[in-house]
Structure formats: C-alpha cells, structure tokens
Amino acid sequence: MGENAWAYISTGTADELTLRSNREALERLRLQGRVLTEMSGAQTRLELLGDAYEYPVLLAPAAYHRLLHPEGEVATALGASAMRAGMIVSTQASVPVEEIARRATGPLWFQLYVQHDRAFTKSLVQRAANAGYRALVLTVDVPVSLRNREQRAGFRLPPGVAAVNLRGMVPPPPPRAEPHESEVFRGLLDGAPTWKDIAWLRSISPLPLLLKGIMSPADALRAVDEGVDGIIVSNHGGRALDTAPAAIEALPLIAEAVAGRVPLLMDGGIRRGTDVVKALALGARAVLIGRPYLHGLAVAGPLGVAHVLKILRTELEIAMALTGCATLRDITPEVIWR
C-alpha cells in the first residue's frame, strides 16, 4: 500500500506504547501443551447473540477500506463471507452500509460512532437495522485521540475515499475555545456519548448492543447494569489512550467482574492462532482482528482477506490439538502455562 494509507493503518497514539504492549503481552504468555487427548469430533463452532459461527474470529471495524482496495468494504465482506466469518462494518466505511449488506452472505454487525447530531445518528442506526445487520457495536473509547506519527506523515484521504454513510449530516460547529482556552474541553468533546446514550440507543434500535473499548472492570459492570448484550475488551489497537494496558492484560480482570453475564470479545494484537487460544483461555468468547485482514485486503482483495482468516483458523485448530482442547469450551485458564 502507499505511504499515506500505511500511515493511517499502522499508527498508534502518542508514543505508541500501548500499540506495542498489545503484542508484547500476548508474547509473554505461554501455553501448556497436552498429549494423547482424544480429538475425534473436534470443532471450533460457537454461538454469539443467537447466530452460529464456524470459529471465534471476527473482523473488527476499520474505516476507509477503499484506501486499500478499489472495492473497499465490499471486497472485505466477500472475503469474510467466503470463510463464513463475521464482519463489523465501521460508521466510517467508504461504501454504503446497504451495498455491503447486499454483497455479504455472512453475518454483519454495525459499529457506531455517536454523532453530535443525534437525529442523524438515529437514522444511521435504522439504516443498518433495515439492511439486515445483526448487532450494534458502540465504540466508546475515542471521544478524542492524537496520533502523532500519522500527523507527521501528513495523512489525508485521497480523492474518492470518504465516510460515505455520514453524507448529509450537518457538520459540528467549530470549537468555541479562545486561543488561550482548551479546544478539548470547549469543543472537541461536544456531543461525545455518555452513559445516558445507552438507554437512548436501546430505545431506538431492536438490535443487540455491544460496547467496544471497555478496559475497566468498573465500566464493564456499569455496562452490564445498563443492559448491554456484550462487551468488547479493547484499547482501540493502541489508537486511544497511550500507556493503557494491553487488552489481554485487562481481559481476565473484566471476565472475573462480569462473571459470564454477557459474552466478552477482545481485540488488540491478535496475529496467530495461539493468540486466539490465549484470549479464549482468559475469558473471551471470540476475538476480533484488524490490521491483519487490512494487510490481506491491500495485497489481494477478497482473496487476501479470506487467506488471512484461513491461516488463523488453521493455526487455532493446531494450537487446540496441541493443548488438548477438542472444543472451545475446553479452552480454560489451565491452558495458560504458569
């Protein structure tokens, strides 16, 4: 891909400590091998929010797939569908949500950034529901962010790439701050979602609601109390709060707090099938991948996306066989070597 796209896809926030930590924390974990386990009938199937999945790997939401391939999110959806994988479509997709849904045969969820214009946000949620999306994923961890490496690269969206599903929205007013005042507190946070918006979203949409970006057990408990249907443990791939812990480090604490009341998913640094096993052992029902499938999309379009998923599924099955786990339910904390 070109340097402009690479600057957008690869960067994290600030000094990128959390971006690196996501991988380093997964690499520190070791798996406990087991031998001579009966593996007849082994499989990786699971159920999430009423839908059946062949294996516990979904595509995380990411903006502007047309940066990487001319067909954008349609190409991604075709690759995911070929591998019967779930895909979460971003609010900032570069293809209309309806067109993606028409081309996909696998389950789609819709990722939502609540906009300052709540009426427009409501219409966007209703468009996704009408198009057949199966769940709503509210991203809650980036009301503001600062990605210095992207800034230094001078990233700009090229002609023909835009957040097409936000067309028609009245733009937010400029920050109210005077030069000596804070633009963050007087402008950039205007319209950012709060806990009050959870009940509002539940009132306008019949779709199951997941919160993406939970890293605190206290926030996880609040989310459960607010009636959400699932939680995605995530630090936004290191693109939100720098020096935050790795997602895999936060996962067991949140799993202990939630105690199985809602399904947990996790993203952040997943690169191998062994990473998937580690996440499931520490409390996740499934994982999301981001940069890996975007790299596959840039290299080979739908085939590249499908190939990345195929690699991960094969590696997951091998790791399960070598740790003595015939099903996902067999992947318990005892799989982690202590």
Domain boundaries, the chain: 3-170+182-335
Which range is least confidently modeled, 167-181, 238-252, 311-325?
167-181
295 catalytic residue (yes or no): no
Angle at 271 between CA 64 and CA 221, to 5 degrees: 80
- Kindly report the pTM of this predicted structure: 0.95
pLDDT confidence of residue 90: 98
Q: Residue 162 is encoded by which pair of tokens?
A: 């835009």
Measure the CA–CA gap between 220 and 226, rounded to whole angstroms. Answer: 10
pLDDT band at 187 (very low <50, low <70, confident <90, very high): low
**Structure confidence by residue, pLDDT tens digits, 78-101:** 999 999 999 999 999 999 999 999
**Structure confidence by residue, pLDDT tens digits, 61-80:** 999 999 999 999 999 999 99
Angle at 331 between CA 338 and CA 251, to 5 degrees: 70
Instruction: Assess whether pLDDT exceeds 90 at residue 145.
Output: no
**DSSP secondary structure, 66-98, as one string:** GGT-TTTHHHHHHHHHHTT--EEE-TT-SS-HH
Q: Which of 69, 116, 180, 236 is catalytic?
A: 236
Measure the CA–CA gap between 311 and 138, rounded to whole angstroms. Answer: 29
Q: Are 251 and 234 in contact (CB under 8 A)?
A: no
CATH of domain 3-170+182-335: 3.20.20.70
Measure the CA–CA gap between 207 and 125, rounded to whole angstroms. Answer: 9
Average pLDDT score over residue span 224-241: 97
Instruction: Assess whether pLDDT exceeds 80 at residue 59.
Output: yes
pLDDT confidence of residue 153: 87
